[in-house]
Structure 1
Amino acid sequence: MISKRRALVAGAAAAMLMLSACSSGNSTDSASAGGPSGDPVSGGTGLIIEQAEPRSLDPALISNSWANSPVLGNALYGTLMIDNPETGDIDFKLAQDFSSTDAGKTFTLTLRDGVQFSDGSPFNAAAVKFGWDHIKDRATASPDIPQASLIDSSRVLDDRTLEVTLVEPVPNFANAILQTSMNWIASPASLQAGQQAIDSNPIGAGPFTLEQWSRQDVIKLTRNDKYYDAPRPYLDKLEIRAIGDADQRYNTLVSGGADLTLEGNWSNIDKAKNAGLQNAVVPTGGGTTLVLNSTKAPFDDARARKAFALALDLDGINNAVYDGTAKLPHTLFDESSPFYQDIPLADEDRAEAQRLLDELAAEGKPLNFTMSLYPSGKALGEAIQTQLSTLNNIKVNVRTIDFAQVGQILGQMDYDVITNAVVFGDPEPRLWFGLHGASAGNYSGVKDAQMDAALDEARVSQDEAERTAAYEVVQQRLVELNPVIFYVRSAPGVIANGNVGGIQQYGMGSVLPEMLWIQAHD
C-alpha cells in the first residue's frame, strides 16, 4: 500500500533534496544530500555544528529537530525508528516493528533482539516504558509532553514487547515518536540517578558514548563498541559544538572548522548550493510562525490579530531576513500535498489593516505589543518594526529571550507574540498539537469549536478524502482567526563539505551520526 504521506512529499523531495555539483548521491534511505562515491571509510573524527546546546543530556530534555541538538540525541541513544522524507514510510532500527490492528487506538512495539545499553545492561521494553513515562511526567518538563501525553497506558508483555494504549486513536502515532525525544531511550538506572549523573555519564544504546562535555564549548563522543549495527558507526569520534549565529555557522564550515552543520537558515542553504557544498532540506508543510497570544490583550481581540496579519509583507521579511532566498508559506500546505487548497493564509492588505487599527484606537485600544525573539531573530524584529512604523495606532516592541528561557516563557504564556513553528510532513500529529484548543502545544491559546472538530476528524480518519475536507475547514478557520502568522517555510536542513559521506535525515531534519563517514583527501 502506498504511504499516505508519499504523495505529499515525493514531488517536493525531488526538488528540495539537492546534490552538490561535484558529488554523486548514493543513498535512497531518508533524505540524501549526496557525498563522496565509493564504500564508507571507517575512522576519523566528525566535526558537527548544531544550533543549540542542550540544558541536560537527559533525552527527554533534548529536542529532536534541526533547530536543536538531534545529532547528539541520536548519537547517545540511537533511534527506535526513522522515516523516509521522500516517501513517508517508516523504517525500524532499535525497534523491529510498531503496528496497530485497531485503527490507531492500541499499538504494539517490538524491539530488536539482543540490543544492549552501552554499559552492557539489556535494552528492553521496560526501559522504553520507563523512558516514555519519564517524558510524560510533567515534573520532567520535557518539551515533548504533548506527544507523550497521547499515551493513556502502556504494558510490558515481555522483554521485547510493549503494548501502548492511546487516549484516542492516532493512526499516525509513529510520527509522534520519531519526531521527538520519544525516539531516544536511556537506561532507567541512569535516569533514576538524577540529572547530574546522566549529564556526566549518559547510558544509551546509541552509536556513541560521552567522553567529555565542556559546556558552551564542545561535546566529545567516542565510538560505542556495543552498538548493535556493526560496522557502524564509521567514525571513531564526534565533536559537537553549538553555534546559534547563522553567519558564524556557515563561516566555520567553509573555513574547515566543521565537516557538517545542521542548518535552518535559507540564506545559508542558498550560499551552500551556490558554493557547491552538499545541502538538503526536508520538505514540510506549515512553517515558522509568529504566535499571537489570544488569551490576553491585545490579541484576545480577533481584530488585532487580523490587523497584524494583514499589515505584514512576507516578501519584505524574506528580503530583509533571508536575502530573498526563503520559501514562503502562502498556503498551509505545499502545492505537492494531497491536502493542498488554494486558500491564502494572510494576504497583505494594509488599507484594511489600517482600518482595523483605527477602529481599535477609537475604542481606546490602540495596538501596542511586544515580540519575544531569540538573539538570532534581530533582523526579523527590525523588519517587522520597520514595516509597521508606517501605520498609525500601532507600536511594536522587541524583547530578546534566551533558548534556556523558552520553556518557562511558553509554559506561563508570558508573551504577546513569540516565534515558534508548526511544521509537518504528514499533518498529524503535529498540526493538532499546534492548533487544537485542548493541546498543551497550542501556544496561541486559541479555542475554536469548528477548527477543533476538523482537527479531531483529520487525526482519526484513515480516508484521504475525509482528511482533505477536514483540513479545508482548518485552513478556512486559520484565515478567519489568525492565531498564528506563518511567515516562512521552515528549512530542516543540513550542509556539509564534499568529503562527508552518508548524510541521512529523518523526521524534522534529524541527522543519523552512525551513517556518517569522511573520505580522506588525496
Structure 2
Amino acid sequence: MITRRRVLATGVAAAMLMLSACSSGNATDSATAGDPVTGGTGLIIEQAEPRSLDPAVIANSWANSPVLGNSLYGTLMIDSPESGDIDFKLAEDFSTADAGKTFTLTLRDGVTFSDGTPFNAEAVKFGWDRIKDPATASPDKPQAALIESSRVLDDRTLEVTLVEPVPNFANAVLQTSMNWIASPAALQGGQQSIDTNPIGAGPFTLEQWSRQDVIKLTRNDKFYDAPRPYLDKLEIRAINDADQRYNTLVSGGADLALEGVWSNIDKSNNAGLQNSVLPTGGGTALVLNSTKAPFDDVRARKAFAIALDLDGINNAVYDGTAKLPRTLFDESSPFYKDIPLAEQDRAEAQSLLDELAAEGKPLEFTMSLYPATRAVGEAIQTQLSTLNNIKVNVRTIDFAQVGQILGQMDYDVIANAVVFGDPEPRLWFGLHGDSAGNYSGVKDPQMDSALDTARVSQDDAVRAAAYAVVQQRLVELNPVIFYVRSAPGVIANGNVGGIQQYGMGSVLPENLWIE
C-alpha cells in the first residue's frame, strides 16, 4: 500500500499552521519534526467526489474536494488561519491602493501550466469571468460577482475593479474556486476535456479518474516550487459515511482524511491520532427560505428556531462531541460579543404555532439535507413531533444538485454553511439582502446597513459595533438557524508530517510527506 510517503512542509513566511496548531487534540512528533522525504504515494480521503474536475465547480472547503483542486491547479494565495496574513503562491501580490475598490493581481514570473503553456493574467481573467457567469453554475458565483470588471495589463498583471469596495477581497479568492486557475484551452474543450485531461499549474496532474472509486494523481515535474511536491503520487477517494472514513484511516487504508464531523475528531483525539480543527465563526445552519410560505412569516421562522434543542441534536447526531454556535462569533474572534442566538423556548414556540394554525397556516415544511446531514433531520423530526400544528418532512439531496437547488431557491429549508474566519466577505455573502449568496432571501435594512459598514471599514472597533447589530437582527429575524459550529478538520496517522491548512480548512498537497 505504501512505499515511502510523507506530507507537507511549506515556506510560509508569516504564521505556519501545522496540524498541531489550533488543534482539538494530539499531534505526533512526526508532524513537525525532521526534514521532508521525497517519494511515495499518499492516500487521502475526502467526503465527496466532485461531479467534474472543472475548478469552478470543485468545493474549496475542508471535507469536500479541496485537496483535489489544490493538487491539479495550485493556489494563487493562502492565508494563515491564526493571523489572517496573506501568503502568495502562484500570485506574487494582490493589493489595493483605494481601500478595496480596485485590486492589482501580479503573478509569479516564469510559471507554466502542466502542458508547458504560459500561466498568465489572461488565464486568471478567463477563469474568474467564467465563475461569475451563471451558465457555469459555480457555487462560488456570489464571490466572483463582486467583480465589476477586470482588464489584463500585461502577461503577469490583472487589474480588478469591484462593484463596491471590499478591503478583504483576498479572502473571497483564497476561500473559493477563484484560487484555482485552469488552462482556458482545456476549459474551452468542454466537460469531457477537463474531466479527462485537466490542465493546471498545480503540484500534480491527473493519471486516472475511476468514478465512484479513486482519483489517481502523479507528480507535476513542471511545478514552480521545487522540490515540492514531495510525494510522487496521490490517491484520493471519497467516503461519505463518517464511520467508514474513520475506520479506513485507523485500519491503514488511508494516511489522511479531511473531516467535518465532530464525533470523528473526538475519536481521533482519544485514539492519539493527529487532528486539527480551525476555529471559525458562524457554522452549519438550516437556511429558511423567507421568500415564500411558510417562512415568509417571521413567526414561523421564530417558532422553528426556538423549538429546537441544540444539545439534543448534538447528543443524537454527534454523540455530544460537537461545538455549538451559541453566539455568531467564536470566543477567539476580536468581534465576539455575548449576544446569544435563538434560545429554546418550547412554550413560546407552541404559542406561535397555535397562532399560525388559528389563521389557517399550520406549519409544514420540508428540509433538504445531504446524506451526511440526514441524521440531523431525523433528530429534528423527533424533537418537533411532540409539538402541535407542525409537520416536518425531509428530502435527501446530492452534492451535485446543490448549485441548481440553491440557484432556484427550490427549498423550504436547506442545510448550508455560513462559516468564516475573518467575517468578510463571507458574512456579507450569506446575509445581505443584495447578495446572490443570501439563500434565506431575507432583506432587512438594519442588518444590510450594518453589514455594509463592517464590510468596508478597516477599523476593528467600527466593525465590532456593526457586527453587534447583525447579531441582534439575527435573533429577531431567524433567517438561518446555526445548529453546529463547523469543523474544518483533518485527521491523520502518525507517519504523516507537515500538514498545513488554509482558508476554510483546505489542505496543501505539495507539502505532504510520509515516513
Greater mean deviation of Cα atoms: 361-370 or 505-514: 361-370
Paired with 2:21 and 2:484, the residues of 1 have a C-alpha distance of: 18
Partner of 1:300: 296
SS at match of 1:16: coil
Is 2:295 aligned against 1:289?
no
Partner of 1:232: 228
The Cα of 1:241 is off from its aligned counterpart by: 0.6
Using the alignment, how far apart are the partners of 1:285 and 1:58 within structure 2? 29
Q: 2:256 aligns with which of 234, 257, 260?
A: 260
- Corresponding residue for residue 503 of structure 2: 507
Which residue is equivalent to 1:385? 381
1:277-312 CA deviation, whole Å, 9 max, x = no partner?
010011100000001111111111100000000000
Question: Which of 356, 359, 364 is the aligned partner of 1:360?
Answer: 356
Letter paired with 2:419: V
Q: What is residue 338 of structure 2 aligned with on the other side?
A: 342
Cα distance in 2 between the residues matched to 1:481 and 1:213: 45
Contact 1:289 1:421 (8 Å CA) reproduced: yes
Report if aligned partners of 1:289, 1:485 keep a CA contact under 8 Å in 2: yes
Aligned counterpart for 1:474 among listed residues 445, 470, 477: 470
Letter in 1 for 2:131: I
- In structure 1, which of residues 433, 445, 463 is the aligned counterpart of residue 429 of structure 2? 433
- 1:245 counterpart (237, 241, 245): 241
| Local SS of the residue matching 2:247 | helix
Does residue 88 of the first structure (1) align with residue 94 of the second (2)? no
CA shift for structure 1 position 16: 3.5
- TM-score, with structure 2 as normaliser: 0.95
Partner of 2:173: 177
1:193 positional shift:
1.1
Say if 1:62 and 1:181, in contact at 8 Å, map to a contact too.
Answer: yes
State the alpha-carbon separation in 2 of the partners of residues 511 and 70 from structure 1. 7
**Map of 1:16 onto structure 2:** 22
Structure 1 distance, partners of 2:160, 2:374, is: 44
Partner AA of 2:379 in structure 1: A
TM-score (norm 1): 0.94
Report what 1:445 is aligned to. Answer: 441
The residue type paired with residue 453 of structure 1 is S
- Alpha-carbon deviations, 1:2-48, whole Å to 9, x = none? xxxxxxx99xx998324636x23xxxxxxxxx716211110000001
Could you tell me how far 1:413 is from its partner in structure 2?
A: 1.0
Distance in 2, Cα, partners of 1:156 & 1:221: 32
One-letter identity of the residue aligned with 1:223: R
The answer (yes or no) to whether the contact 2:20–2:274 under 8 Å persists in 1 is: no
Whether the aligned pair in 1 keeps the contact of 2:80 and 2:502 (CA below 8 Å) is yes
1:203-227 Cα distance to aligned partner (Å, 9 max, x none) = 0000000000111111000000000
Q: How does 1:405-424 map to 2 (within 5 A)?
A: 405-424=401-420
Change (3 A) 1:344 1:495: same
Does the CA contact (< 8 Å) of 2:263 and 2:321 recur in 1?
yes
Indicate how the Cα distance of structure 1 residues 325 and 128 shifts in structure 2: closer, same or farther if over 3 A, else same.
Answer: same
Cα deviation, 1:94-119, whole Å, max 9, x if unaligned, reads 01111101000011111111111000
Moved over 2 A (4+): 13-16, 18-21
SS at match of 2:166: coil
Who is 1:128 aligned against? 124
CA distance in 2, matches of 1:370, 1:125: 45
5 Å-filtered alignment, 1:190-205, equals 190-205=186-201
Q: Which amino acid aligns with 1:178?
A: L
| Structure 1 counterpart of 2:319, one-letter code | D
Give the aligned partner of residue 400 of structure 1: 396
How far apart in 1 are the matches of 2:414 and 2:407? 12
The 5 Å alignment of 1:212-227 reads: 212-227=208-223
Shift of 1:378: 2.4
Q: Deviations over 1:219-246 (max 9, x none)?
A: 0000000000011000000000111111
Q: 1:150 aligns with which of 146, 152, 176?
A: 146
Q: C-alpha distance in 2, partners of 1:409/1:130?
A: 26
Gapped runs of 5+ residues in structure 2? 1-14
- Corresponding residue for 2:33? 37
Whole-angstrom CA distance in 1 between matches of 2:195 and 2:295:
40
Distance 1:177 1:15 in 2: 23
2:4 is aligned to none
Task: Indicate the residue corresponding to 2:486 in structure 1.
Answer: 490
**Post-superposition shift, 1:368?**
0.9
**What's the offset of the Cα at 1:399?**
1.1
Give the gaps of 5 or more residues in structure 1.
Answer: 1-8, 25-33
Question: Given the alignment of the two structures, is residue 78 of structure 1 paired with residue 74 of structure 2, yes or no?
Answer: yes
Q: CA offset at residue 433 of structure 1? A: 0.4
In structure 2, the residue corresponding to 1:163 is in which secondary structure? strand
Aligned to 1:6: none
TM-aligned CA deviation for residue 67 of structure 1: 2.9
SS in 1 for 2:440: coil
| Cα distance in 1 for residues equivalent to 2:149 and 2:166 | 14
1:168 aligns with 2:164: yes
Query: What CA deviation, in whole Å up to 9, does each residue of 1:359-397 have, x standing for no partner?
Result: 111111111111111111222111101111111111111
Q: Deviations over 1:456-483 (max 9, x none)?
A: 1110111111111111111111000000
Letter in 1 for 2:408: Q
Name the CA distance, whole Å, in 2 between partners of 1:306 and 1:337.
27
Name the CA distance, whole Å, in 2 between partners of 1:36 and 1:482. Answer: 43
1:110 to 106, 110, 133: 106
**8 Å CA contact 2:287, 2:480 repeated in 1:** yes
Deviations 1:326-377 (A, max 9, x none): 0000000011211111111111111111111111111111111111111112
Q: Is structure 2 residue 65 aligned with structure 1 residue 69?
A: yes
Query: Which amino acid is the alignment partner of residue 20 of structure 1?
Result: N
Q: Which residue does 2:204 correspond to in 1?
A: 208
CA distance in 2, matches of 1:192, 1:18: 44
Q: What letter matches 1:372 in structure 2?
A: S
Query: 1:177 & 1:357 partners in 2: Cα distance?
Result: 43
CA distance in 2: counterparts of 1:120 and 1:15, whole angstroms: 37
The Cα offsets for residues 415-455 of structure 1, whole Å up to 9 and x where unpaired, read as 11110000000000000000011111111110111111111
| Structure 1 CA distance for aligned equivalents of residues 242 and 293 of structure 2 | 34
What whole-Å deviation, never above 9, does each CA across 1:152-192 have from its counterpart, x for those lacking one?
11111111111111111000000000000000000111111
Q: Does 1:53 align with 2:59?
A: no
Q: How many Å separate the matches in 1 of 2:410 and 2:150?
A: 34
Percent identical residues: 86
How many corresponding residue pairs?
500
